[in-house]
Structures are given as structure tokens and as C-alpha cells.
Amino acid sequence: QDLFESPDFYGIDDLLTEEHILIRNSVRDFVKKEISPIIEDCAERNIFPEYLVPEFGKLGLFGPTVSTDYNPNGGLDYISYGLMMQEIERGDSGMRSTVSVQGSLVMFPIYTFGSEEQKKKYLPKLASGEYLGCFGLTEPNHGSNPSGMESRLEDKGDHYVLNGAKMWITNSPKADIAVVWAKNDEGRILGVIVERGMEGFSTPTIHDKWSLRASVTGELVFNDVKIPKENVLPGVSGLKGPLNCLDSARYGISWGAIGVAMDCYDTARRYALERKQFGKPIAGFQLIQKKLAEMLTEITKAQLVSWRLGVLKNEGKATTAQVSLAKRNNIEIAMHTAREARQILGGMGITQEYSIMRHMMNLESVVTYEGTHDIHLLILGHEITGIQAFR
């Protein structure tokens, strides 16, 4: 049963508009009714609840910042988007993965770099959830360093031929389309839209994950796939194409991590008030209070970071390094909160009766994808010193 009560120690709600609160509450309600009741079972059985994809579309979760010209539920700001991610990830990081890949990594590049025909053809179907998309950047030999990618687009005059492989791709086994990044004959990175059914294109599933078990992850394999020239994203070339998309997704993840931390904090607080040892509720012991006080402190700081970053994004001023700080910090505090919350629950903390252990396992992916914890530290180090320490 989902009894969640949201902590709001610094009155962050006062910084939100009525529309923000309405959006936040409708997604919170959806999570309570549609995600919380099924998610432990899906995670245990390693099942992606695919039937929720059109429901996410109806709720307006896909690409909310895309203009209403292509998305009837679009035209919203980045705070609305962040609040959606917070609520969905409170339900499960894998559900937020599905939503943020579709919105930030598939719709965003088509909307930002695509031709008018591409926008009209794909965006409405992605917004409604009729199509599911995925984003192929990482390769078996190139994760943190995508500039080394080996996937190739060979120019054959009226079309390209794509060869190569992508690894660890969220949604890939179920996706109708993939936005894929590969190098052309000049070694320049281009984005192309690959459709399921194209000859030579396959999407094997990656099995046996202990993390994000309710999300589906796979490979993208390209064997001489003929790509029509009209499937190339005309508006960008170079690594800045995919990195631009990542800025949007990483921002959303910074909010999502707050949702996880809130869920763990709230579960631990309620449990500590009910559970008695040595004749009194464990919430009455100083060591438990220290854990809860520190959790609330970190959640409050994280809320302020993401809210301010959202305002900067709305003004078009947010920098990559600011996004890195928020993603890195908020996942770290979510991981710490989850670990401390699990301890407050004692033995019960490792069971499926509570969401904490599932969140803990999920966060191991969240701290790795969209740039690892240490890569974000190096992005900040670069910003601070002007010296690049990646290579």
C-alpha cells in the first residue's frame, strides 16, 4: 500500500505555480494507483510493464517541453518536467528511465535537430506512447568516452549503410525506433533514426540484471542496415548532438533521485515511529533521529538545487557543469538515504514488503548511466580549473 507523504521542509511548494502542483499531484496519484501496486512483482519477475507506455502518454509524461505543434500535452516548462520525473522515480527508477529516454533522448533530438517531416512523422506517436523509442550512444568498447565510437555510416550516394553495435540501451528490445549516433566517412558524428523492421537491424535483450529489473535493456546491432538519407537528423553533427540530449535527461534524473530519497525517508520515518524496541518507538533513539534529520537535510538541499536548475533551464541559462553537479549530488544523497533507511528498517528493510531495497539496487544503474559519478566529478573539475582530466 502506498501511504507516501511528501517532505517539504522549506516550503518548496510555495515556489511552484498552481499548474506545477496540479501536474505533480496527478502524477503522484498515477504512481499510487498504477505503479506502486505492481512494481515489486515486476521487479522480482524481471518484467517491463509495457502496457503502461500508452498510459504514460495519456498522462502527458513524454516530451512535455516539446511544443504543442507536435505534442498536444506539450508546451510545459522544465519545472513541470522535473516534478514529473520526481514522482515517477519515486515509484521506480526503471519507469522514470522509460519516460526520460522517450522524452529527453528520443523526442528532444528529433524536435531540436530533426527536419519538419521527421518531427511530424515521429513526435505525435512518441508523445502518445503509440511508439516507444530508444537512444543508442554507448558501445561495448566505448561508454564514458563516446567520442571513440566505432559505429559507421557509409555514404552510398542516395542512402547510408550503418554497421556497428550499441550496448546497454534502455527500451531497445521493445522500441519501434532508435535514435543512433554513428560516424560518417569523415569521422563526424551524425544522428540517424533507425526503424524496427529495417533489414540487418536487431535488438537482443540483456538478461540477468540485479538493477532496473522492471525496465528492459538491450543491444542495438547493425549489419549493413540501409538508412535512407531522410532519416539523418539534419540539424547537428559532432558529439555535441548526443551530449545536448544528455543535459536534458541528466537534469530530469536530478529530480528523479529526489523522488527516491523522499520515498525512502518517508518509509523509514513511519517505520521508526511504529517499531518498538527496548520499550519505546525506535524513533525516540538519538541515533535514529540523526539518520532522519540528515536525510531531511539532504533532501531539502537537493530540492533547492533542482528547483533552481529548473529555473535556469527555463531561462536557457543552465550549463552542463551545473547539470552535472545536480545529477551527481542528488544521486549520491539518494543512495545514502536509501542505505540509512534500510538500516532503520532492520531485517524488514531487505524484504519486498518495502520499496527501499529495490530503490537501492536501481540506484546502482542511475549512478552509472548518463555519465558515471566520477565523470560528472571530472566535468566539474574541468569547469573549476579549466584543465581537462579525462585523458
**Dist. CA 388–CA 391, nearest whole Å:** 7
What x-and-dash track marks residues 8-47 binding ligand TGC by CB under 6 A? ----------------------------------------
Nearer to ligand TGC, 235 or 281 (CB): 235
Cα angle at 257 between 253 and 259, to 5 degrees? 115
Q: Report the interhelical angle of 93-100 vs 356-366 (nearest 10°).
A: 40
Residue 244 binding result from ligand TGC, ligand FAD, none, given CB thresholds of 5 to 8 Å by partner type: ligand TGC
| Strand pairing category for 133-136 and 177-183 | parallel
**Dist. CA 27–CA 17, nearest whole Å:** 16
Residues 6+ apart with CB under 8 A from 63: 71, 74, 102, 103, 107, 108, 111, 123, 126, 127
Residue 238 binding result from ligand TGC, ligand FAD, none, given CB thresholds of 5 to 8 Å by partner type: ligand TGC
Residue 246 binding result from ligand TGC, ligand FAD, none, given CB thresholds of 5 to 8 Å by partner type: ligand TGC
Nearer to ligand FAD, 134 or 295 (CB): 134
Helices (H), the chain: 18-30, 36-45, 52-59, 78-91, 93-100, 108-113, 116-128, 240-274, 286-314, 320-344, 356-366, 373-385
| Phi and psi, residue 191, nearest 5° | -105, 135
Nearer to ligand FAD, 70 or 369 (CB): 369
According to CB under 6 A, which residues from 102 to 161 bind ligand TGC? 135, 137-138, 144, 146-147
Residue 81 binding result from ligand FAD, ligand TGC, none, given CB thresholds of 5 to 8 Å by partner type: none
| Contact pick of 36, 71, 86, 170 for ligand TGC (by CB under 6 A) | 170
Nearer to ligand TGC, 269 or 376 (CB): 376
In angstroms, give the least distance from the CB of 233 to ligand TGC.
Answer: 14
Contacts by residues 336-339 (CB-CB < 8 Å, ≥ 24 positions apart): 336/298, 337/260, 337/261, 337/264, 337/265, 337/295, 337/298, 337/299, 338/260, 338/261, 338/264, 338/363
Contact 317, 241 (CB under 8 A): no
Reported in sequence order, the residue ranges of 145-267 that DSSP labels E, i.e. its strands, are: 152-155, 159-170, 177-183, 189-195, 201-202, 217-228
Please tell me whether residue 239 binds ligand TGC under the rule CB under 6 A.
yes
Find the part of the chain contacting ligand FAD (CB under 6 A) among 59-67, 166-174, 281-289, 352-360: 166-174
Residue 89 binding result from ligand TGC, ligand FAD, none, given CB thresholds of 5 to 8 Å by partner type: none
According to CB under 6 A, which residues from 332 to 371 bind ligand TGC? 369-371
# residues near ligand FAD by CB under 6 A: 22
Residue 317 binding result from ligand FAD, ligand TGC, none, given CB thresholds of 5 to 8 Å by partner type: none
Q: 89 an active-site residue?
A: no
In angstroms, give the least distance from the CB of 112 to ligand FAD.
Answer: 17
Interface residues toward ligand TGC, by CB under 6 A: 97, 100-101, 135, 137-138, 144, 146-147, 170, 238-240, 243-244, 246-247, 320, 369-371, 375, 379, 390
* Site for ligand FAD, rule CB under 6 A: 101, 134-138, 143-144, 168-170, 212, 217, 365, 368-370, 372, 374-375, 378, 390
